[in-house]
Structure 1
């Protein structure tokens, strides 16, 4: 099937978003790195929104149809989660052994009741990350599975509730982030300043996924939401707002500017669909990356960062003090991640061809 203009533009945005995710976990040094990280915070909410936008077709109205559709998507997500989680678990074990940890130390550190409770409540914990790869990027898949399960349970109301859930939970998200700075309460005896207390399925996953559902159902049909000028203005305001928020509150999981950037990208993608491909400037490489390997880039970049660091620690750990190397490091990680992701894609393609022969 020939790709449409809006899907081509969406692929390019996905590629850019994946690169920004890498820049969250592999920063440039100094203020440059901090600002890039702040701007990159739109990326994960954007992926939630896209998941919601394409969650239900217009024809998917009946409760049984909604449940069947979302159940299939949940199964697909679980099919992704388990092999990726097993891969990282094996890698964690190998890494721990190389630095002198015993098997019992590794097991007791990762698998205990406290870490399990963090996994269940907040989609975080050492079940899905530890010192060997200290970024819990798999929380996104877990949170999205939670959202899908809620959609299955409340299928009758998901479309009508989407606007309320988007607005109310997003407002609560930003209120909680203000509490992190000005009044750090301790729910469940865990400081609200701990990242996963706010960044989880409830306060990020649900509102941004529901924004995607709401946009697909209603907002995309309104003139403002396919106006290129509105999208560009919203994007500029999002960038300015993010930088201003960072200057006031420093690092946050999601900025209000992040929301504006996500909304701008939705508007521009919607405008691309309405105006046609010739109206937009396209970068074929980004389109290819977004279409074919963006998910691999997301899943594998933490492995590349960790293994890259493992090699550097054994070759020349003092190089971390070299500013030029620290500026080059994110670019090296991006290239290595794309190469690895492309390799995985090619292997999968060849495997499928062999099965079909």
Structure 2
């Protein structure tokens, strides 16, 4: 019998709203700090995926990869259709539309294959990276090298922080897509989640709730400090501590959050919220332009709230049509 971890669903709900806060930040310094703290969200999603992939047979992993790939392709198609419709309504030429939809030109395919990056739906790199994680996991399972791959966790996370936040120290500026990718973000956190699962099964994890709460608090505080000290807006060292601490907390307190609305949202709606929140943000921008409020403080304050509510509503509507049940 499958046992639910209600705390993980609670964190998934919080992470879904955190992603919205990253893409719809509040104005001013408080908004920037809130956006920085919210950076724990995507690493947490990879951790959870890796945790539930551990010791699964290749058939299960293949089905998950196919499911995510279908969502990925479908969502990308919708975002491109939206962009094409917007451009067509502006009465531009077909050539101009093609240049708008594929700004990378001949680099479109390499950008997609290497970095899972699409121009009209950049946030969906996570979905492509997750497919790569599942494919990588299938190779590890077939070759019985799952545990031998765990050494990649500190190596890839160190490279992420060094090339990203530490680029000012090393004097090398690398493109963000090199860091926000399967290679330096998706894979290490996915493997870390798998490591957590393996250690938990062997009962080798010694986790104390008080210490974990302290780690999460320290991670959030460190993130704010890092945000104030630099202009960097990707993974922080504090984000790593926050994501890891929250995940470990869910392992020690699986019933925490049981029955909460946010827990239900995390279980039922988080995936659809991730897929469609940026489209809803684009729609909100059209509305605000129409009423003459776009770019104002009121627009910045209202956008994350409206997108959050609309994302949950849309996800629930999709659940009705797909007959998803808890």
Q: TM-score, normalised by structure 1?
A: 0.84
Aligned positions of 1:188-337 closer than 5 A = 192=174, 194-218=175-199, 221-225=203-207, 227-273=208-254, 277=255, 280=256, 282=258, 284-317=260-293, 319-321=294-296, 323-337=297-311
Task: Tell me the secondary structure at the aligned position of residue 285 of structure 2.
Answer: helix
Of residues 101, 109, 116, the one that matches 1:123 is: 116
Per-residue deviation, 1:182 = 3.7
Asked if structure 2 preserves the Cα contact closer than 8 Å seen for 1:159 and 1:214, the reply is: no
Measure the CA separation in 1 of the matches of 2:30 and 2:97. 36
- What residue number does 1:150 align with? 136
Of residues 10, 20, 36, the one that matches 1:12 is: 10
Measure the CA separation in 1 of the matches of 2:291 and 2:93. 24
Of residues 161, 180, 193, the one that matches 1:174 is: 161
- What residue number does 1:47 align with? 45
Task: Tell me the secondary structure at the aligned position of residue 43 of structure 1.
Answer: helix
Asked if structure 2 preserves the Cα contact closer than 8 Å seen for 1:12 and 1:283, the reply is: no
Asked if structure 1 preserves the Cα contact closer than 8 Å seen for 2:6 and 2:257, the reply is: no
Measure the CA separation in 2 of the matches of 1:19 and 1:178. 24
Task: Report the RMSD for the aligned CA atoms in angstroms.
Answer: 2.1
Asked if structure 2 preserves the Cα contact closer than 8 Å seen for 1:151 and 1:158, the reply is: no
Asked if structure 2 preserves the Cα contact closer than 8 Å seen for 1:8 and 1:287, the reply is: yes
Task: Return closer, same or farther for 1:281/1:78 CA change in 2, 3 Å cut-off.
Answer: closer
Per-residue deviation, 1:96 = 1.5
Any unmatched runs of 5+ in structure 2? none
Q: Which string of whole-angstrom CA distances, capped at 9 and with x for unpartnered residues, describes residues 286-341 of structure 1?
A: 12111111111110100100011012112214x522x2442222112111111122
Q: TM-score, normalised by structure 2?
A: 0.91
